[in-house]
Chain A
Amino acid sequence: MKRGHDNWETVIGLEVHTQLATRSKIFSGSSTAFGAAPNTQASAVDVALPGVLPVLNKKAVECAIRFGLAVDATLNRVNVFDRKNYFYPDLPKGYQISQLAKPIVEGGTLKIVVEGEERTIHLTRAHMEEDAGKSLHEDFHGMTGIDLNRAGTPLLEIVSEPEMRSSAEAVAYARALHTLVTWIGICDGNMQEGSFRVDANVSVRPVGQAEFGTRREIKNLNSFKFLQQAIDYEVRWQIGTLEDGGRIEQATVLFDPDTGETRMMRSKEDAHDYRYFPDPDLLPVKLDEDWIEAVRAGLPELPAAMQARFQADYGVSAYDAAVLTGSRALADFFEAAARACGQGKLAANWVMGELSAALNKAELDIAQSPVSATQLGTLIARIQDGTLSGKLAKQVFEGLWEGAGEVDAIIEARGLKQMSDSGELEKIVDDVLAANPKSVEEFRSGKEKAFNALVGQVMKASRGKANPAQVNELLKTKLQ
């Protein structure tokens, strides 16, 4: 056997559980709000009292339709709920209502970009299901605590084909999916609260081998960083095991962020036998064409389309367009700023540069930006019309950030206007030349550095308000 990572190919498929943005649960009228006191949002249906019946939430189905349309998938006009049977204390009915044979969404694609290269990842399916409750394993006198507030929360489980070949691709896919589901408003994307949870199926095979290796499934990854770390560790472990003559057994594993390692949760031998069958409590779900078309009409412009348009309309690069469409809020902000100043590229630079840096530093979201898109647009317009230099513009930006008022008011109040009166500038230049005979002499004897020193003196004397290009020109003329 050839040894070394170059002789192995990694194969990854992802299953992502997205919590759908509904007010109430998928089969009951309980609230789905996060953070309520234990069991205060668990109704008779959610705790599975005898005799209760599930009634399907229309909004949950609509979210699934939105997703199916956004990834250009097949929507099964008739789809069916099944029971997935297993015993666990946080699953009061003894089965989870899910979709197996006839899911609502089949197929579809998602584009990802890794190291500048675009790839299309195919989706297998997406199906609706209910979430389970939460088991709290802290010690309750040797017992486990059960909170059923989450039981019955609507999920869309999105399954990809095993088409990713590295952890970087898996992360790019997960990020693209995260952007999309939040973009179309079907999921709040909050990973800390568990609204977007990733399971990764990972296997390795010798390069050139057609059949897949045996896979292990890493469960419940709730950050992109952990997704990357878990896959990298798992791949190293699998290759090491195989190269040492071992075998990989199909298993479910958990990632421990503290050690950076995966460990076995259960092996194939005691893997669950779920005994799926159609749920007799629920009738097949029918999607009529009018409904689908109404949902389609309500879809926003999607990230891929917007990227193409940003490049065409505002002349930004493919990379910038991808960054700017990282979220709908960011894209909307950029576009509003670009429209306000008519300078797409400059607007892109400011949004991705100064603004992003300030937001990061303050740990704020674009939606919480103290500087509005219109203000940023006006600021850029003042650079464009020569009122401000780039340096002065940064000072005005700081003013905007502190809430000191509108752009023109800040320029006025802080005296930040770039000097446009050439007579005034000429006087400063003359003064500087008179005061620095040594530099003048050095320059004339061929020392280029001395020129920069003179420019610096003029800028200083003008308190940064001189136009640097104008200063250069004037100095050159005077020194000739």
Chain B
Amino acid sequence: MSLTPDDVKRIARLARIEIDDAQAQATQAQLNTIFDLIATMQAVDTASIAPMAHAQEVYQRLRDDVVTETDRHAAFQAVAPAVENGLYLVPKVIE
């Protein structure tokens, strides 16, 4: 499997990365070498091996349902570009 220039542009758009045609072409070549690597790995027969969700066979630790956090919005908002009435302000989004 290899990627087309359109695939690359779509992936870039999904990641909100702006690229021009020359960059798309260079990226396409790089991504395709990664796909070659995947193709090599896919040649291995894994039919009898259960898929793993994580590299190690350990499980999630759970925490008790207790409120431990305090209000730190002033500190967090000190570095925000725009704030009003405790809200973060962002460029208008309408869906």
Contacts and interface: CB of A to CB of B under 8 A. Distances in A.
Instruction: Tell whether A pairs with B.
Output: yes
Contacts of B85: 38, 145
B62 A143 contact: no
Contact of A24 (B62, B66, B94): B66
A86 to B, nearest CB: 9
B63 A273 contact: no
Contacts of A59: 64-65
Given A87-B16, A266-B95, A143 B89 contact: yes
A407 interface: no
A181 to B, nearest CB: 17
Interface string A77-112: 010100001011100000000000010000000000
Contacts of B26: none
A278 B86 contact: no
A39 B93 contact: no
Interface stretch (A41-49, A237-245, A380-388, A417-425): A41-49
Given A37-B86, A144-B92, A146-B90, A284 B53 contact: yes
A23 interface: yes
Specify the main secondary structure of chain B where it touches its partner: loop
A325 interface: no
B36 to A, nearest CB: 21
B69 A30 contact: yes
Contacts, number: 126
Nearest to B64: A58
B73 to A, nearest CB: 4
Given A56-B62, A278-B54, A39 B88 contact: yes
B83 to A, nearest CB: 9
Interface in B56-95: 56, 58-69, 71-73, 76-77, 82, 84-95
Nearest to A139: B92
A44 B66 CA distance: 16
B14 interface: yes
Contacts of B88: 39, 89, 145-146, 148
Given A39-B73, A47-B76, A140 B67 contact: no
Contacts of B61: 55-56, 283
Given A58-B63, A278-B54, A40 B86 contact: yes
Interface in A248-295: 265-266, 273, 275, 278, 280, 282-286
Contact of A56 (B53, B60, B66, B82): B60
Given A80-B53, A147-B87, A266-B95, A283 B65 contact: no
A143 B60 contact: no
7 shortest interchain CB distances as A-B pairs: A29-B68, A59-B65, A145-B87, A38-B86, A58-B62, A286-B59, A43-B69
Given A266-B95, A283-B61, A286-B60, 17 more contacts: A23-B66, A24-B68, A39-B88, A41-B69, A55-B61, A58-B63, A59-B64, A80-B53, A88-B93, A137-B94, A143-B92, A144-B90, A144-B92, A145-B89, A146-B88, A146-B89, A284-B54
23 contacts: A24-B68, A30-B67, A38-B73, A39-B76, A39-B88, A42-B73, A43-B69, A44-B76, A49-B76, A59-B65, A61-B62, A87-B16, A144-B89, A144-B90, A144-B91, A144-B93, A145-B88, A146-B88, A147-B87, A273-B14, A283-B56, A284-B60, A286-B59
